[in-house]
Amino acid sequence: MLPRLQNRVPPPAFCPLDKHSGAPIARRLEVTLTDDVLVVHGGTPLQGQIRVRGAKNLISKAMVAALLGETPSRLFDVPRIRDVEVVRGLLELHGVKVTDGADDGELVMDPTNVESASTDEINVHAGSSRIPILFCGPLLHRLGRAFIPDLGGCHIGPRPIDFHIQALREFGAVVDKAPEGMHLSAPNGLHGAKLELPYPSVGATEQVLLTAVRAEGTTELRNAAIEPEIMDLICVLQKMGGIITVHTDRVIEIQGVPKLHGYAHKPIPDRIEAASWAAAALATKGEIEVLGARQADMMTFLNVFRSIGGEFEVTDDRVGRPGVTGVEGGIKFWHPGGDLQPVALETDVHPGFMTDWQQPLVVALTQARGLSIMHETVYEQRLGYTDALNQMGATIQVYRDCLGGTPCRFGRRNFKHSAVIAGPSKLHAADLVIPDLRAGFAHLIAALAAEGTSRVYGVDLINRGYEDFENKLAALGAHVERLS
């Protein structure tokens, strides 16, 4: 057993500070990092099968949508992750009865008695997630007012909410920013609007959908995000009675309806988690079958994976084959041996290469022979985690310029948002503090790929988006243990 290095490590970088005391909000929520350390004995190829459940970035929004219905909703395949707990807590505070259904992963949400919650109660969730911003429309429809706490989420750039507020005002909401959070009301109800987003923001598109679906009249949203999670949210709203048309060129039209009912929905699988495990297979020279992963949502990732030299097989042909029962398909990813190839990539909105695929893949790219380029165009500060990889022996240089493809929004601003990765590099063990969710998983992959024993601090942050990851690691043959 390794000796405990220190009892307390600094809070992770995403952790917001209490405005009054200056203390990290995570501490107020009694989250400490003392027992939050994973010891990783690296160098073993990960091998085996794991399963992904419903997509975190759909589940949380579908849970908010349940508020809009007048009868209970049922959501299946819900992973046990922190973001789900936060949204569940907020729903319960507003009178929604949330219970576990008969099936494993089934959540039943009964919004029959929606009621206001106090600012203090809601503020317990301040700084814990970005999802509370999506409660605006549904609460305004149900209660005529809403209070939204300070948002949390990963520290990967400024992450403003100006598009959300602008859209809400166009719908007729009155938005007051106060020191304790944001108060909203809709004295004249909410009505449809003609909107155009300056950038196809996922959250702002969801805000518009969740507000417009019950607003009076028709809403037209231009330059909307069209991620698979958004299409799945549209499916949820359609099941509830919504009338939503997706036109070409990122135009979504929503005909408001006065009433919605509950839904029953099996969400799309988590394509971010699936890609994270795929990158782990490549970086550790292993083979991982990700059950539940769906090819259609991952085409862009799969093309890149293949270009680098990784191999994959879509195994969903087993499903429904005569005589085959109880077998679930997915995608099997593996490193075929030999050198990996470098690649020039840029992250983008759908159908581009997702920003959340970037960090785990960069770890694999440290093993490719030659120079790879990663141009991050969605968030301005999502390459900070590369410092830790360099400490482990990687050679990654970050630049303010737009390298590789087309100039992006950050080109003439002062953000280091392009990386050049020179490989292959032999990674060695290090002590790492997890900075945010996806970078955290990337650090974990690097520790698994490295020779020697690493200590990874703040691993509980990974529970925000990766269900049961320690048991999954064990199932894949990783040598990891909690520092005790």
Q: Give every strand in the sheet of 97-100, ordered side by side.
A: 97-100, 107-110, 73-75, 264-265
Return d(Cα 33, Cα 64) in angstroms, integer: 30
In DSSP terms, which residues pair with 455 in a beta bridge?
Answer: 39, 431
Total number of residues that touch ligand EPU (CB under 6 A)? 26
* Comparison of 160 and 179: residue with beta carbon closer to ligand EPU: 160
Name residues whose C-beta falls within 8 Å of residue 92's C-beta, 6 or more positions apart in sequence: 98
For the residues of 162-194, what is the DSSP string, one character each?
HHHHHHHHHTT-EEEEETTEEEEE-TT--B--E
Cα dihedral: 19, 23, 25, 30 (round 10)? -150
Measured from the CB atom, the residue of 102 and 296 that comes closer to ligand EPU is 296
Among candidate residues 154, 235, 402, 408, the one labeled active-site is: 154
Residue 130 binds ligand EPU (CB under 6 A): yes
Contacts of 277 (CB under 8 A, 6+ apart): 50, 52, 288, 290, 333, 472
Site string for ligand EPU, 92-121 (x = CB under 6 A): ------------------------------
**Longest Cα–Cα distance in the chain:** 66
Residue 162, interface with ligand EPU (CB under 6 A)?
yes
What CA–CA distance (Å, rounded) separates 122 from 428?
44
Among 110, 220, 232, 356, binds ligand EPU (CB under 6 A): 356
154 is catalytic: yes
Using the rule CB under 6 A, which residue among 68, 268, 427, 437 binds ligand EPU? 437
Other Cβ atoms less than 10 A from the Cβ of 134: the count is 27
Beta-ladder partners of 252: 221, 246
The partner residues of 255 in beta bridges, in order of sequence, read: 218, 243
C-beta of 436: minimal distance to ligand EPU in Å? 7
Which residues, numbered 265-324, are part of the site for ligand EPU (CB under 6 A)?
272
Site string for ligand EPU, 168-207 (x = CB under 6 A): -------------------------------x-xxxx---
With CB under 6 A as the contact rule, the residue among 28, 41, 159, 479 that binds ligand EPU is 159
Q: Does 161 bind ligand EPU (CB under 6 A)?
A: yes
Residue of 300, 355, 366, 454 that binds ligand EPU (CB under 6 A): 355
Residue of minimal Cβ distance to ligand EPU: 203
Which residues are near ligand EPU by CB under 6 A? 56-57, 130, 154, 157, 159-164, 199, 201-204, 225, 272, 354-356, 378-379, 437-438, 465
The residues that are catalytic are: 154
